[in-house]
A and B are shown apart, each in its own frame.
Chain A
Amino acid sequence: MFLTISTTGTPERPATDLGFLLHKHPGKAQAFSTSYGQAHVFYPEATAERCTAALLLEVDPVALARRVRGATKGRGGAADAALAQYVNDRPYAASSLFAVALSTVFSSALRGVCKSLPERAAEPLPLRAEVPALPARGGARLVRALFEPLGWTVSADPVPLDERFPEWGDSRYVRLVLDVPDGRLTLSEALRHLYVLLPVLDDAKHYWVSADEVDKLLRAGEGWLAGHPEQKLITNRYLARRWSLTREAMERLELARLADADDTDVEEIDNAVAEDEGPDAEDKPAPLAEQRRDAILAALGAAGAARVLDLGCGQGQLLQALLKDARYTEIVGVDVSMRALTVASRRLKLDRMGQRQAERVTLRQGSLAYTDKRLKGYDAAVLCEVVEHVDPERLSALEYAVFGSARPRTVLVTTPNVEYNVRWESLPAGHVRHGDHRFEWTRAEFRAWAERVTHQHGYTVEFVPVGPDDPEVGPPTQMAVFTQTQTQTQTPNDRTGQNTQNTQSTKEAKAA
């Protein structure tokens, strides 16, 4: 990874003063050890008119991998986690690691300290910074939005992924050239901009940044970050990064390995929890989600349910609502995603909950692709926006698991009404509402499905619109309320499996 900083000068104020300001002699090449490899500083040009300092960091991929591994436990000496650790852009791109090198090599300049030319350090000067391979999540547009308010003139050209395959489009790198005329920025300010904004643009997830580096990062923002129009994004990305780093090291390894085994990005399968919804994210449900929850609560109330299953509980929004109502004495949240369950647990603050409250709620991993004995005997089950995440050819398993095996008295199923999609302005025609939706049903399709289920499994069904019921295309969400018709003669105490002493009538039933 590579970066140059240039300035121009006059015989009175020679450009070579840059050497003093950076505390690096323009006539020499110097090398420094950093946590991620050797950093080199040298000057490709150094005249009174123009002086350029270059910083080149030779990233040691092996050291990098070891550092990441430190956060987890390998087995039998085997390296852990995903292949992405070993083959990645870190040795080439000006990533978050670069910020570390920058602060190590130019620490005094960063602080604006210069013993030889103290007055020059406080003076603005004309500057040009070039970063030939800058990873920029958010692209050239964001690069401009971050640097332009600080006084830079920005040139950011996207780098194509592979010119051999133009159909692949652009990479996430830009070739960045920043210019600022004299009188605007000091070298210290310029360096601190880079120090903070390079990692923000990189927005990398796979690397651990220690807490004290994070503090340094904050200090570097002094004087400019507070007034920056993108301050929220800058802070959020940096905070989110810190949060996800610790978290990922602990939680996603198994899934990451499965993704690896299949040559797949881990994001493609570890996507049960939406990117932007961390547990710390402010809990502001979209109005439709709120209406859905209200409709579900109303239906559960009408059914007189006390022991409720939330099948596909996701991050636990519905569980949270159920917990607030004392009539729900047993609330079980089931999800197939361990990550979702972890987020739900944090959202509910299970670890801090009073014992009586905590006893009302259980979170467990489960899957509706399988029957599950633990789900039997409940009053009601809610499948809120769940069925559309199941491949159509695998729905029959879900139907049997819920209606045939678990068999709660009441089952609530909500799902999008695809007819309504034309009313979403932001949704392009023919698109589903969520990337993981395997289908979206019309009202007629949903009814046909629901009615088939009732016949097969002995339920009746009623349909409830959720959200504004458009006269033409119906409501945005459709809900089916299933009620069991066959009354069961279950005797909860008679589950020992020893039935030799059973009554005659039971034996007769067995004879069937």
Chain B
Amino acid sequence: MTDNTTDNTTGTSTGSTTPGRRLPVTDLSLVVLIGASGAGKSTFARRHFKPTEVLSSDFCRGLVADDENDQGASGDAFDVLHYIAGKRLAAGRRTVVDATSVQSDSRKQLIELARRHDVLPIAIVLDVPEDVCAERNAARADRAGMPRRVIQRHQRELRRSLRHLEREGFRKVHVLRGVAEVEGAEVVTERRFNDLTHLTGPFDIIGDIHGCASELETLLDRLGYVDGAHPEGRTAVFVGDLVDRGPDSPGVLRRVMGMVADGTALCVPGNHENKLGRYLKGRGVQHTHGLAETIAQLEAEDARDPDFRARVREFVDGLVSHYVLDGGKLVVCHAGLPEKYHGRTSGRVRSHALYGDTTGETDEFGLPVRYPWAEDYRGKAAVVYGHTPVPTATWLNNTICLDTGAVFGGRLTALRWPERELVDVPAERVWYEPTRPLRTDAPGGHDGRPLDLGDVHGRRAVETRYAGRVTVREENAAAALEVMSRFAADPRLLPYLPPTMAPSATSRREGYLEHPEDAFAQYAADGVARVVCEEKHMGSRAVVLVCRDADVARERFGVGGTSHAGSGGAGGPTGALVTRTGRPFLGDPDRTEQVLGRVRDAADAAGLWAELDTDWLLLDAELMPWSLKASGLLRSQYAAVGAASGAVFPGALDALEAAVARGVDVRDLLGKQRERAADAAAFTDAYRRYCWPTDGLDGVRLAPFQILAVQGRSLAGMPHDRQLALIDRMVEHDGTGLLRTTRRLYVETGDADSVRAGVDWWLEMTGRGGEGMVVKPVGALVRDGRGRLVQPGIKCRGREYLRIVYGPEYTRPENLEKLRGRTLGHKRSLAIREYALGLEALDRLAEGEPLWRVHEAVFAVLALESEPVDPRL
């Protein structure tokens, strides 16, 4: 059906045709041939349609009964026919039913079938004289015995039906009278009206205007239109709701109708046009929801342009519910459309395109609750729509709503296609008070839909672009829900949580459990030639979101909307400083703001805002000292071990020495206990290195090591050398001593000298008590030869530091040997899954997806952190 060149200017062509006339038949439709036995339906079908398009009842009788004329098998045969027809229609294939279909009951089933699949039912009637039918049947061996009265009955039924076919629901009816007309007819395939796949634009799709004529003119101007035409030949596409509520609906109509007539614009109807159309046809409609304003404006117009109403009526009447454009890559409609309705034609599709889907509930403002169809949408075509006012236009699952509430004082928004750029102009004023506020204070209300438990709760699979589906188990989601709800920072300020990191493969080297040579070797095996070794500071992981000011935080992250008892400062927060499980690092919001202020000043002085073209930064960092956050743990666990061992050994060693002096053979035991005492002392030394007292921000240090994201961009793929250069400049420009650089060394994994230098660097650093280092591919976001994500970092922890993790005595050969049995597989897999989720969160953030989409990925990271895995890894 690709070879058709028919124009689509005609309306529904029904009624009788003259001999030789073309019979337009829509490319996706259910064609019902109607005629008595022997009228020539099968011959007609063969001549005009592909053999696979035609389903004949005779053939189906044969399928189920081995006899094409076994009338007793008709019931089963039609079941089969309907079933096959249903499959074809669901797949979007035109289907021709070759049965007598002279009874209204049989046609009714076919019309229902067409409706169920949202395709047009088309009737082609072959009205051939009884004699001819009888003659043809007589010539066929298998029908020779058919009584004449059967044909007579068919003819009677056909006659009775003719007048009712349109009322029965056929959208086109072609009646061919007599043999000549049947034989002279020519079927021409016609596109559906909504099928404009051949138009490739480029387009400028414009959201709900609602009579805001002046804003429309401003927007068209910004888009480059000159008096309704674009010098580069772009086409405007209006998503409907041109009228009602606003100050000048006639002005908008005049502009849009003019552009559509000139071929510089397309327009789909909104529910408001639909209602206006009914009003203009004289039907009884309530003059609510802004229609009264339009009626008054039209009345004012009457004197100047008496013909205008009629033209509007005609224009609205001719609007097609939705368009499929640009080779099927783009669907434009008013209220959004699930994929199964794209390019379909039925009352249901039209209703859906105009009104959208609702849940049947009403919200607190008495308005219908709309079913969030876009959240389920997985279609290939981008769906651009309007209808539901949203605070900002954001992409969600390849759909975007352009109704940004211009008439309610919001903005009038356009989308450039295929560029996918948003262009908008602010409303000149609030033209109409909204029934429901455009946004709520709740997290996510900022972009239209607050966070819902369904986004995070229970067993879930999160789609990521880097590692496919990541599954979260129910019990892990449950734990994350508790932590996220009770302890985490405001989810709006929590667009990212850091992934866990796997250690290097277990070292076989004597005295070591981890050693950098294994990390270098692993990256070499993954095809990563150049890595960066970054010093670990033995602080606590921290994620820092810092905005240029509170207004930016409000604008970009939707926080600080309303101030109420107890909430932050007058200006609201300017960001967040959170731990790896999303908890605010510092209990005191003012202190957090102080830290953010210092980071902001450093970014200011380093000129990062302009350089990165952003007004906020998301940083991955370490915050020191460790004792700042971990003090509870230090006391209950680490210092406790130190205290207990410090208390017990002097007495125990004295007792053993006394026993030895008495000649009791406990020499071995004494030696062992001395070693244990030394190990315990080393343990105490190990944790002490990471503790120091702080007073306010004095003594607090922050070492950022990656800029994760800026406005509109994830920087997760920016190479670490460039990252660190930017961060170094921030540190240089920090006058407060808060920021620390991260020492680093670049290593070529294939170069033995370079590897040795890396090992020496690590030995030197950890020998002085350093925590260790993280080895990362310089390229940051790297895949291996098989296209899988490579670990974004591998940690090599210092020998002394590992005492804190594996216990004071882990370095003893027998203990090391046992510990070498550790398995890393699960930790590595977890690290990759969390990394993919983190990347996903950053990408969703960058693409301006709604909060719940970003939060879904962030929450999943937290949930995975509660998966069972050896905590010492």
Contacts and interface: CB of A to CB of B under 8 A. Distances in A.
A165 interface: yes
B8 interface: no
A2 B639 contact: no
B280 to A, nearest CB: 16
B83 interface: no
Contacts of B673: 56
Nearest to B582: A262
B501 to A, nearest CB: 11
A139 to B, nearest CB: 14
A458 B355 CA distance: 26
Nearest to A445: B565
A500 B355 CA distance: 9
A422 interface: no
Given A75-B868, A263-B629, A389 B651 contact: no
Contacts of B7: none
Given A54-B655, A365-B457, A255 B691 contact: no
26 contacts: A42-B655, A43-B662, A56-B669, A58-B672, A75-B869, A78-B868, A80-B870, A88-B637, A91-B645, A130-B651, A132-B652, A133-B647, A162-B643, A173-B640, A262-B581, A268-B632, A272-B482, A369-B443, A369-B491, A371-B453, A397-B443, A404-B363, A494-B360, A500-B348, A509-B366, A511-B272
A78 B651 contact: no
Nearest to A62: B818
Nearest to A446: B565
A28 interface: yes
A494 B868 CA distance: 44
A500 B351 contact: yes
Contact of A159 (B362, B565, B629, B643): B643
Interface in A354-401: 365-374, 376, 389, 391-397, 399-401
B51 interface: no
A92 B648 contact: yes
A409 B691 CA distance: 54
Interface in A107-129: none
B359 A497 contact: yes
B567 interface: yes
Interface of A: 1-2, 4, 27-29, 40, 42-46, 52, 54, 56, 58, 61-62, 73-84, 86-89, 91-93, 130, 132-133, 135, 159-162, 164-165, 167-168, 171-173, 175, 253-255, 257-258, 260-265, 268-269, 272, 336-338, 365-374, 376, 389, 391-397, 399-401, 403-405, 407, 438-439, 441, 445, 448-449, 452, 457-458, 486, 488-491, 494-500, 504-512
Contact of B658 (A45, A389, A396): A45
A392 B475 CA distance: 28
A76 B806 CA distance: 20
B10 interface: no
B428 to A, nearest CB: 22
A456 B638 CA distance: 50
Nearest to B456: A370
A129 to B, nearest CB: 12
A86 B867 CA distance: 18
B361 A495 contact: yes
B786 interface: no
Interface stretch (B67-75, B127-135, B156-164, B283-291): B283-291
B271 A262 contact: no
A512 B866 contact: no
B529 interface: no
A40 B664 CA distance: 12
A167 to B, nearest CB: 7
Given A261-B580, A366-B453, 15 more contacts: A29-B664, A29-B666, A42-B656, A44-B662, A78-B868, A87-B805, A92-B649, A168-B639, A260-B871, A261-B581, A445-B566, A486-B366, A497-B357, A511-B288, A511-B355
A396 B561 contact: yes
Contacts of A254: 475-476, 478-479, 866
Interface in B425-483: 435, 440-443, 445, 450-457, 475-476, 478-483
A399 B629 CA distance: 31
A140 to B, nearest CB: 14
Contacts of B352: 500
B567 A392 contact: yes
Contacts of A499: 355, 357-358, 360
Interface residues of B, number: 136
A367 to B, nearest CB: 4
A265 B636 contact: yes
A29 B445 contact: no
Contacts of B15: none
Contact of A171 (B271, B359, B644, B869): B644
Contacts of A40: 666, 669
Interface stretch (B255-263, B391-399, B823-831): B823-831
Given A262-B581, A497-B359, A499-B358, A52 B655 contact: yes
Lowest 8 A-B CB distances belong to which pairs? A254-B479, A400-B442, A392-B566, A44-B658, A396-B441, A171-B643, A92-B644, A254-B866
B366 A264 contact: no
B571 interface: no
B633 A264 contact: yes
A285 to B, nearest CB: 24
A505 B288 CA distance: 10
A253 B868 contact: yes
Interface centre among B348, B364, B456 (most CB of A within 10 A): B364
A42 B659 contact: yes
A254 B351 CA distance: 48
B642 interface: yes
A504 B638 CA distance: 71
B644 A93 contact: yes
A163 to B, nearest CB: 8
Nearest to B451: A370
Contact of B485 (A45, A167, A262, A369): A369
Given A86-B807, A401-B442, A510-B271, A263 B630 contact: yes
Interface in B127-148: none
A447 B475 CA distance: 39
A457 B364 CA distance: 7
A510 B368 contact: yes
Given A87-B804, A338-B482, A494-B360, A261 B823 contact: no
Contacts of B813: none
Contact of A396 (B271, B481, B562, B693): B562
Contacts of B561: 396
Nearest to B693: A167
Contacts of A404: 363-364, 440, 442, 450
B626 interface: yes
Interface centre among A260, A372, A499 (most CB of B within 10 A): A499
Nearest to A484: B364
Contact of B440 (A86, A400, A452): A400
A27 B665 CA distance: 9
Contacts of A265: 632-633, 636-637
A84 B564 CA distance: 41
A510 B664 contact: no
A394 B490 contact: yes
A373 B360 CA distance: 13
A512 B659 contact: no
Interface centre among A61, A164, A264, A508 (most CB of B within 10 A): A264
B92 to A, nearest CB: 21
A507 B355 contact: yes
B357 A511 contact: no
B149 interface: no
B453 A372 contact: yes
Contacts of B479: 254-255, 257-258, 338
A160 B669 CA distance: 27
Given A368-B485, A373-B452, A89 B872 contact: no
B651 A396 contact: no
B155 interface: no
Contacts of B368: 506, 509-510
